[in-house]
Amino acid sequence: MLSSSRRVVTVLVLAMLLGPSAAGALDWPMFGRDLKHSFTNAGSLINTSNVAFLQTAWDFPTSDAVSASPTVVDGRVYVG
Q: What is the mean pLDDT of residues 45-62?
A: 87
Whole-number pLDDT of residue 53 = 93
Residue 75 has pLDDT above 60, yes or no: yes
In whole angstroms, what is the distance from residue 70 CA to residue 79 CA? Answer: 5
**pTM for this prediction:** 0.42
The contacts of residue 40 (CB under 8 Å, 6+ apart) are: 33
Q: What is the pLDDT of residues 6-53, one digit of tens each?
A: 777 777 776 666 555 455 667 778 888 888 888 877 766 788 888 899
What b/e sequence results for 17-35 when a residue is b if at least 16 CB atoms lie within 10 Å of its CB, and e otherwise?
eeeeeebeeebbbeeebee
**Pair 39, 32: CB distance under 8 Å:** yes
Residues constituting the chain:
80
Whole-number pLDDT of residue 25 = 65
